[in-house]
Amino acid sequence: MEAVKRPRGVRYRLKKGPKIVMIGVLFLLVGFTFYQSQQPKVRFNEEKIVEYGDRFEDAIASIVNQDKSRFDSVEVVSMDTSAISTEETPTFEGSIVATFKGNTKTVNFQFSVKDTQAPVIVSDVTSIDFSDANPFELTTLLETVSASDPVDGPLTLTYSFDDMKETRKLTAEEFSLAVRQLVYNRSYAFSAHATDSNGLSSSKHFDVTITDGGMKSVSSLSEEEKLALINDFTAKYSTVYDVTNDSVIHESGYDSKIYPASMTKMMTVYAALSILESNITPAWNNKEVVTLDTVYTVPTTIDYIHASDASNAGIWGNDVVSIRDLFYGIMLPSGADAALALSEALTGSSDGLVNKMNEIASELGMTRTHFANATGLHDNNHYTSMKDLVTLLKSAWQNDAYRLIMSSKVYVTDQPYVNGRHDVFESSSLSMLNMMGDDLVVASKSGFTDESARSLASVVIVDEAVYFIVVNQSNQDGLGLSAVTDTMYLINQYIK
């Protein structure tokens, strides 16, 4: 059978046709590539953050360079290119037209405007001497302090004492009133604070030295005079206990009967915390659990204590206080009034807390201890020993709330119970230790009666090692420093 022959022209067309198509596609690709090479490239691969006050032109130029864009010119459209609004934190959407070799391209973008600049606090001074002779010097200082923010403009300042463990901030008026309650002849550190509408904050530190017009004081002692006082050790009873190694490294009359005076209040606070942590629900609090924040109206039954020789925190019947205020009122100014008020709040009577104190003493094995009251006022049936006070501190110091209270130098009350004013409590023993040059004692509780003389229990920390020091019957001196200087002597002899 004879084969059919296809025309050569047909074979040619069938064979060459795809080549023509391929060549055409190739020309198109080359043309498209050339076209693309002439187009501007402007990429926005993520949301852009712009600071308040930046100009859009600067922001866009920065972004274009960052994104390796290619253009001859770039112009913002559909958006104001003036300074970014500082009224809020908005998100802006817009577009730009980029030009390259006569070609243009429109690209949409988004800017989120953020505030990253904290307020600025300025003042003409950083320290001031505040004296009884001119109580408005502090007001003058505060008038020189101001705060401003690039977004919010002028800001209202608040103030706090740097030594406060509870960091509640005060208004200028509250702070000015609070400072006037502090003990004279001491120095205090405080800070001014400003926060803008976006939560950014700044603080500035100041020093205030309070004087009383020339009376002989701790602050006026020379270094030689301080050293002489420290080296004149007078305590009849003393102990240094190494908590880290559970050992007594010094003792004098360790198991002897002593009168603790206001060192009693270390147990007062510990026993009260024990009751508080049991989640009591007294009737006066509508059967709800009492916490440190609970507000309490002090009964007038405690007012009699102000006629005694006891130290007080200035709390009277019908004052409205927080439970936290009472704890600090006991420990820092050694307030007998605060101790009675807290006992009433937690147990319903002034004796209820004493019962708990003796119960805990028994549980801890404080065999040489009996408490007759929660205040530390002298009673022949109110006694303890150096050994038992160390036993108490070993247990109490493990409690977080207890450590915070005992180690506080200054505390400003939650409630403005004194003529509408927040009161200020201060640890005079910690202040005097600091002024005498000590920086190792982190917590202390002092005591004084005629029978106990000057007494002081302290917690010392050196390179994370913890020590307890207790002195009792330190001889009195004109400045009331004997227990402080005896403590410093023991630190020098047995710890440093």
Architecture per CATH, 221-494: 3-Layer(aba) Sandwich (3.40)
d(CA 357, CA 375): 11
pLDDT in tens, 266-317: 999 999 999 999 999 999 999 999 999 999 999 999 999 988 888 989 898 9
Reading the block at residue 211, the tokens are: 């004087």
Instruction: Name the pLDDT band for 236 (thresholds 50, 70, 90).
Output: very high
pLDDT score, position 243: 97
Residue of 86, 30, 97, 37 lying closest to 64 (CA atoms): 97
Q: What's the average model confidence in pLDDT over 21-33?
A: 61
Between these two residues, 74 and 254, which has the higher pLDDT value?
254
Residues of each annotated binding site for substrate: 445
CA–CA distance, 256 with 181 (Å, rounded to integer): 39
Return the closest-CA partner of residue 258 out of 95, 69, 451: 451
**CA angle at residue 301 from 405 to 454, to 5 degrees?**
45
As a dihedral over the C-alpha atoms of residue 479, residue 483, residue 484, residue 486, rounded to 10 degrees, the angle is: 120
Alpha carbons 59 and 386: distance in angstroms, whole number:
71
Burial 273-282 (b: 16+ CB within 10 A, else e): bbbbeeebeb
* pLDDT over 60 at 436, yes or no: yes
What pLDDT was estimated at residue 337? 94
Domain with CATH 2.60.40.10 in the chain: 120-211
Burial readout 1-33 (b: 16 or more C-beta within 10 A, e: otherwise)? eeeeeeeeeeeeeeeeeeeeeeeeeeeeeeeee
Strands 127-131 and 201-211: parallel
Q: What are phi and psi of 240, to 5 degrees?
A: -125, 120
Higher-confidence position of 35 and 249? 249
Of the options 2.60.40.10, 3.30.1490.20, 3.30.450.150, 3.90.1310.10, the CATH number for the domain spanning 120-211 = 2.60.40.10
Q: Does residue 335 have a pLDDT over 90? A: yes
- Quote the CA–CA distance of 157 and 159 in Å, as a whole number: 7
Least confident of 139-143, 253-257, 294-298: 139-143
In the chain, which segments carry CATH 3.40.710.10? 221-494
Q: Sheet of 153-155: strands edge to edge? A: 120-122, 146-149, 153-155
**Would you please indicate which residues are annotated as catalytic (active-site) residues?**
262, 265, 334
Rounded-to-10 torsion of CA 336, 339, 345, 351: -90
Contacts of 66 (CB under 8 A, 6+ apart): none
Strand order in the sheet with 441-449: 247-252, 237-242, 465-474, 453-462, 441-449
Ranking 101-105, 169-173, 210-214 by mean pLDDT, the lowest is: 210-214
Confidence (pTM): 0.70
Q: Say how far residue 372 (Cα) sits from the centre of its chain.
A: 37
Residues making up the binding site? 445
More reliable by pLDDT, 423 or 383: 383
Average pLDDT over residues 169-177: 75
- pLDDT tens track for 176-207: 766 666 655 566 778 889 999 888 999 988 87
